[in-house]
Amino acid sequence: MDANIVVMGTESVGKSALTVRLLTRRFIGEYGDIESIYSHSFMVDGRELTLNIWDSPYTEDLSVEASLLEKKKVQWADGYVLVYSICDRASFNTVSRLIQFIKSTKDYLSTDKTPIVIVGNKRDLHHRRTVLSEEGWMLALKTDCHFYEVSAAENYHSVLMVFHGLVDRMKDAKLTMKRPLGFRGIVKSMSAVFARRRTDSF
């Protein structure tokens, strides 16, 4: 069985750090603007589950193409990891917006448990904290999502918990794991955005 997961959030909140931590158990410090879909398998209830994890850099590109890609990304995914930094209030506000965007794009039934986990990252930087844990919990409660506070820099197990929590959530939602958009379609839309970026920079 396999499932698609997308990791979303604003710039520099640690999306790549979380993804790379899950895949390699390591924290390497600098990640660059990686846009990738990684596959990672693990055993759940005695069965192998492969997660296809889409880690994408944040874009403020408001073009029609870019917003179409965001929509496709949301439609492609069966589950969502929405990341903010506990030191960056704007990133927390963006997570609220993303939840609304996902819910309206996917049109979940009100009885469905939405397969979304909210992650407050950079817990090790608590001396620079601007978003309280309670605010994360409240948002999760209000929107019926899971919530974790983690440090991708310091801890592998809490990151693993995030993805396990999401898998549980997807099982609860009893979602049919089918793909509205094939892999080829996504690669095509991604290259359309990159081509546009390249053109823009000249």
Nearest-approach distance from CB 83 to ligand GTP, in angstroms: 6
91 binds ligand GTP (CB under 6 A): no
Write out the two tokens for 144: 């019926």
CA atoms of 19 and 36, how far apart (whole Å): 10
Among 68, 90, 125, 141, binds ligand GTP (CB under 6 A): 125
CA distances from 82 to 28, 47, 64 (A): 21, 26, 23
Nearer to ligand GTP, 47 or 127 (CB): 127
- State which of residues 37, 38, 58, 179 lies at the interface with ligand GTP (CB under 6 A): 58
Residue 82 CB, shortest distance to ligand GTP, in Å, is 11
Per-residue x/- mask for ligand GTP, residues 133 to 162, rule CB under 6 A?
Answer: ------------------xxx---------
- CB of 179: closest distance to ligand GTP in angstroms? 24
Placement of tokens 């693990």 in the chain? 42
Task: Assign 3-state DSSP to the chain and report helix, strand, coil percentages, each to 5.
Answer: 45, 20, 35
Number of neighbours of residue 80 by Cβ within 10 angstroms = 25
Q: Shortest Cβ distance from residue 151 to ligand GTP (Å)?
A: 4
Q: Judged by CB under 6 A, which of 17, 22, 53, 116 binds ligand GTP?
A: 17
Q: Which two tokens stand for residue 188?
A: 């095509």
Q: Under a CB-based contact definition with an 8 Å cutoff, are residues 106 and 84 in contact?
A: no
φ, ψ at 106 (rounded to 5°): -90, -15
Please give the residue ranges that form the binding site for ligand GTP (CB under 6 A).
9, 11-17, 29-31, 33, 57-58, 121-122, 124-125, 151-153
